[in-house]
Structure 1
Amino acid sequence: VDNWEELRGELLGRGAVLRDRSDAELVLRAYQIWGRECLPHIDGDFALVIWDARRQEAFCARDRMGNKPFYYHWDGKSLAFASELKAILALPWVRQEPNEGMLAEMLAAEWYSRDETLWNGILRLIAAHQMVAGNQGPRLEQYWEPNLWAMLPFRKDEEYIEHYRELLFECVRRSSRSHRPVAIEVSGGLDSSAVFCVAEHLRRSNRLLTHGINGYTLGFTEEEGDASELPYARAVGGYLGLRIHETPPSRMPLSWFAERARSGRQFPGFPNLSMQAGLWQQTVAHGSRVTLGGHGGDQWLEGSRAYYAEALAQVHLRTLYDCLKTDATAFGARQAVSWLIRQGFFPLLPIALQEGLRRLVRRMRGSGTSKACYWLSPRMGEVIRMRRELIPPSHHRRVRSVGQRALLEALYDAYDAQAMEDLDCVSAHCGIEMRYPLDDPKLVQYAFSLPERLRLRGDRTKYIHIQALKNLLPKRILERKSKAEFSIVLREHLDRMQAILTETIPDERSTWVDRDGMARLFRAYRDNPQAGMPKWILWGIYGCHVTYIGDC
């Protein structure tokens, strides 16, 4: 519970008797006082179930950002729930039946469902949802979403930046509560470095909720190209006068992923996730149980050229001129005018007209409306086509500003939700609880209220983030524009998997994939190992294969 201080005071003020100082006690007393309306009073990462004997029902909930997993199964009589799939699948009355729809999404690398798993009948409780399970069966309700219509009372950029800085400090402070030293991932990127530097600043002013912090980074070598971020991580450590522990990435053998899929009864994850296992193990060896990460920065602070549409909609001609001038200086006048048309005028057209223009452009280009997943079998191709049709276009959602649509897509991204569950599972098995200050719902709400021009300005993404961190981060980090690319740990496996991917899997999974299509997909990977989606699709197919060994 992140707001334990405020919640404790509120409960005591209402006459609650707290038996201890645990978070579980706070949550239980909150439910006793507010019932199903308790969740707006509780901040933090949680997955919880409370049995209400008076009502003869179970009250279940998952945190706003979905950082803690929650799986459940309802058979009409009983509710089973767990933080891992294997616990539910081990129950004798739960059928181990593959979910064809979710399988098709995984094979196609197109993620749409946020509540399904690879097993029929076993569901995820979606982030920011509560569920009441009683005699009538489970009843779900979304209890939180950012307020799309909230406006900030600021007029100057400096006011936005100062408030963001205060909010960032508070989010890092709240996430640092631990009776042991807190570990912080310091990749050398802007976001994790920001968390580390803010935490150290708080520590020096005795405002951190732990007695110490340690920084950790993955030690890829220079020969490993874009994966190596050591110079940046060292720059952060040098700037603060602190040591950053360098840990070699964990290169798990192929058998490790197969065993994880078999024992966990779930997709084994991607190698660029498991490569952090050694780092987490080192943090545990140093006495930590909590690690802070930088996830959330890309989702909420990257920005888009939607500031053109915002300026036009609000008739802010000075803002429009400033955006055009900044983009023209960075990219040229022609590019700036192109963005004005595509990101300014077009999004403000009626939805029906936008869709008509999109269809016209597709016809002129000779492209169809659907993606061609040539590696899928006819059956799986049909399943994924049906899944696509069930998803309403995001641009139909009514929003206050065009830029909010990209934020909503990030908030409800099905792949990111699954990836974070995989990460939580691996880190928990290492003995670590992951926390993400930049994913704090208060910061997310702030992002939804920000003018788009404060996220992206010219060639600088995360503009407000950078401005707020001046004098806290070394110049090398503030001015960095490159991003690390970790597919090398995936390619090391794929280069030795041609027979599995083009022979074994097509033979054993002919209802899933097409043999010629798999050969074509592998050639696409071999022709350009670093580019595009082929490598990720190939690994996803392998992951499904080992997950279902013995089941289908």
Structure 2
Amino acid sequence: MCGIVGWVDYDRDLTRERATAREMTRTMALRGPDDEGLWIDPHAALGHRRLAVIDVEGGVQPMSEGPATIVYSGETYNFDELRRDLEGRGHAFRTRSDTEVVLRAYLEWGAAAVERFNGMYAFAVWDRRTEELLLARDRMGIKPLYYAPTPHGVLFGSEPKAILANPLFDAEIDDEGVSEMLTNAKTPGHGVFRGMYEVVPGHTVTVSRRGVSDRTYWELSAREHTDDVPATVARVRELMEDIVRRQLISDVPLCTLLSGGLDSSALTALAGRALGAEPVRSFAVDFADETGGFVPDDLRETPDGPYVHDVAKHVGSDHADVVLSNDQLASPASMDSVLRARDLPAMGDMDSSLYLLFAEIRRHSTVALSGESADEVFGGYRWFHDPDAVAADAFPWSGAMLGAGLGLLDRTLRDRANAYERERYHEALTEVPHVPGADARERRMREICYLHLTRMVRMLLDRKDRMSMAVGLEVRVPFCDHRLVEYVFNTPWSHKTYDGREKSLLRGAVADVLPRSVVRRRKSPYPATQNPGYERMIRTRLEEVVADSSSPVLPYLDVGAVREALRRPMGAASLQPDRLPLERALALHDWLAAYRPRHVA
């Protein structure tokens, strides 16, 4: 896992721009703490910061072979098979790294090589024969990749900060960018900053003297599902065992993230079985001063701790709890680190706790397996099973906690953001592939699943990538393997809920390796602190912000509504309705104060 940057310019000699290229590269230092590399040609500069995971000694980048040079971030899990194929075609390898496999695959098959990769990746290849740059991103968008066209080429990087470091790019944001940033639409390809874009997951972007072109190499498609329920459950188990086995490959210490829910528990159990005599390491997050004091709410019926410990005992994992305090969650240092990692407003304690958890894990492990995306793949969220949410003419998650953060915005801005989200929702519906002859229920649930797999999951993958890479931790997401995603997406909703519950297929596939307590447990979201001291700290900071007439966020807020919210009594449970808007308003202020984007019409 690494950070990549680059600059292509057909109108200047970039060998004279080494200082700027190096500055762009150094913005990725946290993503790659182990090494730094810079390669410059007259019209191309490629920079790399490395987190060494596979072939620690040999996988140095940028890497060149013949006419091509690559900077690569991520993991290609089928690199051993590809390597054998390429050796049969006459390629002689110098390293054991998957980077060299990807580079030689490009030399053998060109841009079409991406269709052969199984993994999470973002990479750039400069081809001196054609003076063309190829940018590629994995199918699900696990690894990020941004680019900004210039009058004579392009700037790119794993994160916006790499592009912002080049004087050719100005930090500007327009009304559409503000709406994209504040809503939960996650429009494919939208980079928030004006003139900046994301490489769309499952796409490649080619830059040449003729301009910039985009190509789709993978997207969800509709296929008839012919397996019955037992065969479907068996296939899910078969895929999961293969995926976990592949993703355990590492030359550095590896662990799992364990919440006591079905998803992370399944991965921990399957990893433990795959490792055999060697116990799997596992980590969980908890909050100080809450032991024995958990208060059930509409989202969380039970605390994670007892289930975490049931799994750890059942699997025999080498387990540790990471306990976080209010002072850590709301500390200026933590909040600033989260902001700088995201390059966008943060998500309150859900971000800061994840960042602090990863920072502690990084002291022991370099790679972690996460249960992220299982809810999107298998239908785990409560709103999948809420008739009102399913029938709503909106993203199904908009009415839940994620949609509650706009309440303190200026009314005009709030109305504009809501209208923007509705437009993006209807735009997304036009993309959904359907199986001919499906009834109305199956068609609608296919739409719901598609929205989660192409919008919501990408918000969560972005969050996990930024928080983990900010501390140099590689997080792998087995449930995003495209083979599993394709198979389950085309499974009828009646199969996905065959036992009358959420995530029926996954539960059926792994029940035999889990304690009964976890098999029976209902879905519980990522934990949030219930300690009132955290909310008090957030309120105090926001009071200071609205009292300062120079605060950059004031034009974006309904200040009267903020003051009224601050006068109301504090909530009593975790993600209480009053707290999220306060966190969002404060996060927007911090982002505006740090990045100072120019708002343009």
Counterpart amino acid of residue 222 in structure 1: G
Q: Which runs of 4+ in 1 moved over 6 A?
A: 303-307
- 1:122 is matched with 196
1:187-266 alignment runs, 5 A limit = 187-204=259-276, 213-220=280-287, 221-225=291-295, 228-249=303-324, 251-260=328-337, 263=340, 265-266=343-344
Contact 2:203–2:217 at 8 Å: present in 1 too? yes
Q: Which runs of 5+ in 1 are unaligned?
A: 308-326, 328-334, 348-353, 359-369
With the length of structure 1 as denominator, give the TM-score of the two structures.
0.79
Counterpart of 1:217 in 2: which secondary structure? strand
Q: Identity rate of aligned residues, in percent? A: 23
1:275 is displaced (CA, Å) by: 1.4
Given that residues 339 and 345 in structure 2 are in contact (C-alpha distance below 8 angstroms), is that contact kept between their aligned partners in structure 1? no
Answer yes or no: is 1:4 the counterpart of 2:71: no
Alpha-carbon deviation of 1:380? Answer: 1.8
Name 2:122's counterpart in structure 1. Answer: 47
State the alpha-carbon separation in 2 of the partners of residues 492 and 76 from structure 1.
51
**Which residue number corresponds to residue 463 of structure 2?**
422
Q: Secondary structure at the match of 1:275?
A: helix
**Is residue 2:454 matched to residue 1:412?**
yes
**Partner residue, 2:33:** none
Q: Structure 1 pair 373/84, CA: closer, same or farther in 2 (3 Å)?
A: closer
Tell me: CA distance 1:186–1:143, structure 2 relative to 1, closer, same or farther (3 Å): same
Match of 1:143 among 195, 203, 217: 217
Shift of 1:497: 3.3
Is residue 299 of structure 1 aligned with residue 376 of structure 2? yes
Distance in 2, matches of 1:497 and 1:161, equals: 45
Mapped to 1, the partners of 2:366 and 2:113 lie a distance apart of 28
Aligned counterpart, 2:236: 164
Distance 1:60 1:218 in 2: 36
**Residue equivalent to 1:33:** 108
If each structure's strand is expressed as a fraction of its own residues, which one has the higher value? 2
> What residue is the counterpart of 2:144 in the other structure?
69
- Aligned mates of 1:399, 1:144 — CA distance in 2: 17
Given that residues 378 and 496 in structure 2 are in contact (C-alpha distance below 8 angstroms), is that contact kept between their aligned partners in structure 1? yes
User: What's the CA shift for 1:454?
Assistant: 2.3
Distance (whole Å) between structure 1 residues aligned to residue 330 and residue 382 of structure 2: 43
Q: 1:490 to 1:53 in 2, by over 3 A?
A: farther
Query: Deviation at 1:257?
Result: 4.8
Contact residue 330 and residue 538 of structure 2 kept, 8 A: no
Partner of 2:537, secondary structure, is: coil
Against the structure 1 CA distance between its residues 505 and 35, is the aligned structure 2 distance closer, same or farther, given a 3 Å change threshold? farther
**Larger RCO (alpha carbons 8 Å, 6+ apart):** 1
Letter in 2 for 1:468: A
- Is this contact kept in 1: 2:220–2:486, CA < 8 A? yes
Aligned partners of 1:249 and 1:276 also within 8 Å: no
Q: Judging changes above 3 Å, is the alpha-carbon distance between structure 1 residues 13 and 479 closer, same or farther for their aligned structure 2 residues? A: same
Of 261-270 and 396-405, deviating more is 261-270
Counterpart secondary structure, 1:488? coil
Q: Superposed, which structure 2 residues align to 1:341-360 within 5 Å?
A: none
In the alignment, which residue of structure 2 is the partner of 1:22? 97
Match of 2:363 among 285, 288, 301: 285
2:417 equivalent among 384, 408, 414: 384
Tell me the residue number matched to 1:539.
583
Report the alpha carbon displacement of residue 389 of structure 1 after superposing the two structures with TM: 5.4
Partners of 2:511 and 2:538 in 1: how far apart?
47
Q: Residues of 2 paired with 1:114 and 1:440: CA distance? A: 19
Query: Which residue in the other structure is 2:227 paired with?
Result: 154
Task: State yes or no: 1:446 paired with 2:487.
Answer: yes
Indicate the SS of the match to 2:189: coil
- Tell me how far apart the structure 1 counterparts of residues 584 and 405 of structure 2 sit (CA, whole Å): 17
What CA distance in whole angstroms lies between the structure 1 residues aligned with 2:538 and 2:414? 24
Tell me if the contact between 2:225 and 2:492 (Cα under 8 Å) persists in the aligned partners: no
CA distance in 1, matches of 2:382, 2:293: 36
Cα distance 1:527–1:195, how it changes in 2: closer, same or farther (>3 A)? closer
- Post-superposition shift, 1:41? 0.6
Matched, 1:86 2:173: no
CA distance in 2, matches of 1:490, 1:51: 51
Which whole-Å CA distance do the structure 2 matches of 1:175 and 1:372 have between them?
36
The equivalent of 2:557 in structure 1 is: 513
Q: Following TM superposition, by how much is the alpha carbon of 1:449 offset from its aligned partner in structure 2, in angstroms?
A: 2.0
User: Match of 2:555, SS?
Assistant: coil
SS of structure 1 residue aligned to 2:475: strand
AA aligned opposite 1:474: P
**d(CA) in 1 for partners of 2:408, 2:355:** 32
Pick the structure with more helix per residue.
1
Per-residue Cα deviation, 1:59-82 (whole angstroms, up to 9, x for no partner):
001111111111222222132111
1:500/1:276 Cα in 2 relative to 1: closer, same or farther (>3 Å)? Answer: closer
1:493–1:435: structure 2 CA closer, same or farther, 3 Å change rule? same
Q: What is aligned with 2:14?
A: none
Q: Quote the RMSD (CA, aligned, Å).
A: 3.3
Cα distance between partner residues in 2 of 1:185 and 1:306: 25
C-alpha distance in structure 1 between counterparts of 2:293 and 2:315, whole Å: 27
Q: Secondary structure at the match of 1:232?
A: helix
3-state SS in 1 of match to 2:377: helix
Deviation at 1:110, TM superposition (A): 3.8
CA distances 1:423-444 after superposition (whole Å, capped 9, x unpaired): 2122123221000111111110
What does the per-residue CA deviation read over 1:316-336, in whole Å, with 9 as the maximum and x for residues that have no partner?
xxxxxxxxxxx9xxxxxxx9x
Does the CA contact (< 8 Å) of 1:233 and 1:244 recur in 2?
A: no
TM-aligned CA deviation for residue 304 of structure 1: 9.3
Gaps of 5+ in 2: 1-75, 395-402, 436-441
Deviations 1:89-139 (A, max 9, x none): 1212211223432323444x4434333334222222222121001122221
